[in-house]
Structure 1
Amino acid sequence: MHKSIQEKFNQKFRTLLSRNNLQNILIAISGGQDSLCLINLVKNFQEKFSKTISITYIYIDHQWTKNSQQQIKHLINIIKRTKNKFIIYEINQLINSELKARELRYNTIIKYSKQYGYTHIITAHTQTDKTETFLQHIIRGTSLNGITSFNEYRKFNENIHIHRPLLELKRKEIKWLCRKLYLPIWSDITNYNYIINRNRLRYELIPYINKYFNNNIDKKINDFLINSKLDNEYINQNAIKLYLHSRHKINIALNYKLIYKQHIALQIRTLQIFFFIIQNKISI
């Protein structure tokens, strides 16, 4: 399994580098087992295929625990062995909201990317993260766009691209690989804080579903999301066609009579496209 995981990662990483002609890349890590696995896979890739590619790791420390400094030292020791650059941001403001912390984390990483010219960002998200995110979206109330937004590749804006090369792997596969390679996993106590909704999903809801309803929930949700993504892309394509056909050639306006004849799903998407373009001042 180890060889298979490394080979699949090597193929994805080589495609990413060659397709985009990349010489440097930014990797966002959290310090957990998924990040350790990603660091090891990248290190092996560099040693075998490309020692010249410039890798920068970035870590956002929310300082939620008293031993966060020790965790940073732990990460520094690991990344030192890879001989890559390591950037650390410390968040001085204590944020209890998981959603706000995630937003701040992403904003910090994107800001750093823009400032230093990184166009492609890699994260260590797995298929289990995809399952958890899907359930969070469902609980909060979301749309077809919302539940299908967590993919292996995401275009954040015109210049920033996000890649998740481990998205096909389950957390138990990552755990197996870390043990196989004796990777020094840091035990983060915040993972067991049930005030954080994702932890309740991870340690209570998902195991309950696996035990009493379906013992392969990750795969079933992933299959559902693949089908949903196809449906979503079909609706989006038709909404774009409707927008292009109904927009005014000169004024900022739409032919509402033409739009009104279409299905309500297309009406909503077309209006979303219209307002998005106005807000961002872009043209299609």
Structure 2
Amino acid sequence: MPAILLNLPAACDPSEPVLLAISGGRDSVALLHLLREAGFTQLILCHLNHGLRGKESIDDAAFVRRMAKKLGLKCEIETEDVAALAEKRRVSTETAAREARHAFLLRMAEKYDVWVVLLAHHAEDQVETILANLCRGTGLAGLAGIHAVQRLDSGLHLVRPLLQARRSEIDAYLKSKRFKYREDSSNTSPKHRRNRLRHEALPLLNDIFDRDVVPQVLRLGSLAEQDDDALQRQALAFLMAEGRVKEDRSLVITPELLALHPAVSSRVFALWLREAWELPGIEHDVIDAAMGMLAPDGGAKINLPGDRHLRRKAKRMWVE
């Protein structure tokens, strides 16, 4: 069986401590054993029980604890009522679970002063993400899918060493090594959109095109990430030039700004609002409205998230 290659950045030193987010399922268990084979000796296993599957969730946590003890690894396990969290914040269960995981991993990073977290997303996860984003009307950033290395605002670095590995390769590896793992019953439920993409949409696309479409979708993601990065760099270079942003953080409306291609100017506004003003929730509709203010008959004020406003006057724009 061909070896699964881990895509790890140079900063991941096998001799240094690193956090591993582990569910007990096949993907994270495979990553655990692959990392050990690669010489990682100070893995800290981090498991969050979402409380969504009753006894099955409790058994998952117990499985991770036993495995950590057997391998002589540190283990951190916490429980979060994700369903209650989703209701309280009025978000989807998926969003609440992701926020809970990030908060848990941040606590572990602060506890151990270890800011690299390894996650077990693989190629099919990437394809499902790209297809889901496509159907939501995403731009290049969404078509890029999951990043192999992602830095969160909290300072956490999420690293995904298996992002190019196929699910079939992971299954073959686990079978050949006879490693035990937990099966998540929710992975087959048609209630979850991602499961329908995995079990219905992808097989149908393969059948329609009479080929395995995963490599093509992965290539789309790679090209989209490359193009988006180039446009982001242009936008950042524009903002960093002297005189573009004043000390009071206002953006100067110059002929150069007006002449930018919309693909660049939209990113200029996104960066300026998110970075200079630290505004959350800046989506496409806000960016489109901000760009509309540049027109000769554009408005002088638009609403922003958080009861803020973007204003334009005398060839400059600012937030109040």
Q: Which residue of 1 aligns with 2:252?
A: 255
- Correspondence 1:17 to 2:6: no
In the aligned structure 2, how far is the partner of 1:156 from the partner of 1:77?
A: 31
In the aligned structure 1, how far is the partner of 2:261 from the partner of 2:107?
A: 39
Q: Which residue of 2 aligns with 1:44?
A: 37
Q: Which residue of 2 aligns with 1:78?
A: 67
Q: Which residue of 1 aligns with 2:140?
A: 144
- Work out which of the residue numbers 258, 270, 276 in structure 2 matches 1:278: 276
- Change in CA separation of 1:14 and 1:260 when aligned onto 2, cut-off 3 Å: closer
- Correspondence 1:208 to 2:201: no
Q: Which residue of 2 aligns with 1:265?
A: 263
What is the correspondence of 1:28-107 to structure 2 with a 5 Å cutoff? 28-46=21-39, 51=41, 54-66=42-54, 67-94=56-83, 95=86, 97-107=93-103
Q: Which residue of 2 aligns with 1:157?
A: 153
Q: Is the 8 A contact 1:98 1:196 kept in 2?
A: no
- Change in CA separation of 1:14 and 1:137 when aligned onto 2, cut-off 3 Å: closer
- Change in CA separation of 1:252 and 1:279 when aligned onto 2, cut-off 3 Å: closer
Instruction: Give structure 1 stretches of 5+ with no counterpart.
Output: none
Q: Which residue of 2 aligns with 1:221?
A: 217
Instruction: Give structure 2 stretches of 5+ with no counterpart.
Output: 87-91, 280-320
User: Which is helix-richer, 1 or 2?
Assistant: 1
- Change in CA separation of 1:218 and 1:77 when aligned onto 2, cut-off 3 Å: same
How many residue pairs are counted as aligned between the two chains?
269
Identity of aligned residues (%): 23
Q: Which residue of 1 aligns with 2:287?
A: none
* Offset at residue 214 of structure 1 (A): 4.8
In the aligned structure 1, how far is the partner of 2:137 from the partner of 2:111?
A: 35
Q: Is the 8 A contact 1:61 1:88 kept in 2?
A: yes
The alignment partner of 2:120 has SS state of coil
Counterpart AA for 1:28: A
* Offset at residue 185 of structure 1 (A): 2.6
* Offset at residue 249 of structure 1 (A): 4.4
In the aligned structure 1, how far is the partner of 2:226 from the partner of 2:18?
A: 30
Q: Is the 8 A contact 1:120 1:160 kept in 2?
A: yes
More displaced stretch, 249-258 vs 267-276:
249-258
Q: Is the 8 A contact 1:155 1:161 kept in 2?
A: yes
Q: Is the 8 A contact 1:239 1:269 kept in 2?
A: yes
Counterpart AA for 1:40: H
Counterpart AA for 1:23: E
Counterpart AA for 1:77: R
Q: Is the 8 A contact 1:119 1:160 kept in 2?
A: yes
The alignment partner of 2:238 has SS state of helix
Counterpart AA for 2:155: N
- Change in CA separation of 1:179 and 1:243 when aligned onto 2, cut-off 3 Å: same
- Change in CA separation of 1:81 and 1:16 when aligned onto 2, cut-off 3 Å: farther
Q: Deviations over 1:182-215 (max 9, x none)?
A: 1113222111111111111111111111122253
* Offset at residue 99 of structure 1 (A): 2.6
What is the correspondence of 1:103-252 to structure 2 with a 5 Å cutoff? 103-157=99-153, 159-245=155-241, 247-252=244-249
Structure of larger gyration radius: 2
* Offset at residue 121 of structure 1 (A): 0.7
Q: Structure 1 length as normaliser, TM-score? A: 0.86
* Offset at residue 166 of structure 1 (A): 0.7
The alignment partner of 1:16 has SS state of coil
In the aligned structure 1, how far is the partner of 2:11 from the partner of 2:95?
A: 29
In the aligned structure 2, how far is the partner of 1:197 from the partner of 1:100?
A: 16
In the aligned structure 2, how far is the partner of 1:260 from the partner of 1:114?
A: 44
Q: Structure 2 length as normaliser, TM-score? A: 0.77
The alignment partner of 2:10 has SS state of helix
More displaced stretch, 37-46 vs 21-30:
21-30
The alignment partner of 2:43 has SS state of strand
